Structure 1
Amino acid sequence: MSEFPLHTPQTAPQAARTILKDVQSRLGFIPTMYAKQAEAPVVLKTYRMLDEAFETTSLTTTERLVVLMTVSRYHACDFCMSAHSWRAQIAKLSPPLIEALRTGALTGNTRLDALATFTYAMVDSRGAISDDQLQAFREAGFSRQQALEVILGIAAKVMTNFTNRLAHTPPNPEFGSENIWRASQ
């Protein structure tokens, strides 16, 4: 059980109410993570800022999802893996690609596999990767800029993965039963 409430636009601290209303209007529901983050409006605002910034990187939608799902799987975040599976489905990633990202299997795409491997190594080593690991990432066609952009995605996921683990954030049923992920899988 979590002592962190699932806030609504009516129960959230004033500074989070507009965000929750806007998200509810745009999506038709409030992601439970936002409802939990609303307890600390600065956390909700900062996450949204990081997420929006990550969306503007030179990484493609698919590549961003590889980063987000790799980090979320590493941290065993049920909410984030479920949310990103839903986002991947909306982005029309193939079901086998989504399943590979959910399980940590190879995708069959050399570039995406190099990105997942690099992202995993960055998180696992807390950024202390080897020259060989960086070189493998670069040889897959990624730039130095993109190596730094991966860090932005990791930062956003550390914030949400840790929040969701602390607050015991349940995945939204709106994600669809096929997208709900449990770390015990």
Structure 2
Amino acid sequence: MSRINVPTRDDVSPTNQALFDNLEKGVGMVPNLYATLAHSEHALGSYLALQNAKSSITGKAREVVNLVVSQVNGCEYCLAAHTMIGKMGGFTDAQVLEIRSGRASFDPKLDALAQLVKAMVSLRGKIDDATLDAFFAAGWTKENLVDVIVTVGDKTITNYLHAMTKVPVDFPAAPELAA
């Protein structure tokens, strides 16, 4: 059950109404978690700026980060959204599940990324040298490392927002991982 309401367009400031309109045009809807950010005058705009900022971590790599972080943090909302986005971006159902487990055996570079992100989130950034060395050996750069950390922060924001608010998930539920 939701701990706070999901605001509608009529409930939010004119600034946030404009952001709702842009989301509606671009995404076709205002996801409940984004709408919840609009309880703050500034949070939705700040979050969208962070999410849309230029990064060396894009496309499938970004979805690897989003899926792994959301799995480690147990965010059913973000897992649902990013399972759908990951499949739209070209991952198969099996690949999405494997990524969520912290591996991507079908692509060595994405596998190193998934392992790094799982360790980073699980260990609060205190990863071992071997994991970082494997990341770099797979072809990732220092720029990529910094951008991965920023992307982890981005996803952690929405994971925590959902954990705190429990707003309804408005995407198809992500399947459970096998034990």
Aligned counterpart, 2:50: 50
1:181 paired residue number: 174
Give the equivalent residue in structure 1 for 2:158: 160
Question: What is the count of residue pairs matched by the alignment?
Answer: 178
- Residue identity over aligned pairs, in percent, reads 28
Superposition pairs of residues 1-185 of structure 1, within 5 angstroms: 1-53=1-53, 56-104=54-102, 106-172=104-170, 175=171, 177=172, 180-181=173-174
Secondary structure of 1:10 counterpart: helix
1:50 CA displacement: 1.2
- Bigger drift between 135-144 and 89-98 goes to 89-98
**Is 2:103–2:114's contact at 8 Å kept on the other side of the alignment?**
no
CA gap 1:183/1:33 in 2 versus in 1, 3 angstroms: farther
Alpha carbon RMSD of aligned pairs, Å? 2.0
Residue 113 of structure 1 deviates from its aligned partner by 1.3
Offset of residue 103 of structure 1? 4.3
SS in 2 for 1:6: coil
Deviation at 1:184, TM superposition (A): 8.2
Distance 1:2 1:159, change over 3 A: same
2:157 is matched by which residue type in structure 1? Answer: M
User: 2-side partners of 1:115 and 1:105: how far apart?
Assistant: 8
- Native 8 Å contact 2:70 2:79 kept in 1: yes
The two structures have a TM-score, normalised by structure 1, of 0.87
Structure 2, unaligned stretches of length 5 or more? none
Q: Is the 8 A contact 2:116 2:131 kept in 1?
A: yes
Distance 2:34 2:166 in 1: 13
TM superposition shift of 1:183: 6.6
- Compute the displacement of 1:104 (Å): 4.1
Q: Which AA in structure 1 matches 2:7? A: H
2:61 & 2:177 partners in 1: Cα distance?
25
Shift of 1:159: 0.7
The amino acid across from 1:15 in the alignment is T
8 Å contact from structure 1 (residues 79, 164) kept in 2: yes
Distance in 2 separating the partners of 1:78 and 1:47: 19
Cα distance change on mapping 1:71 and 1:79 into 2, 3 Å: same
Is there any run of 5+ residues in structure 1 with no aligned partner, and where?
Answer: none
Q: How far has the Cα of 1:100 moved from its partner? A: 1.6
Deviations 1:143-170 (A, max 9, x none): 1111111001111011110001101022
Q: CA deviation at 1:122?
A: 1.3
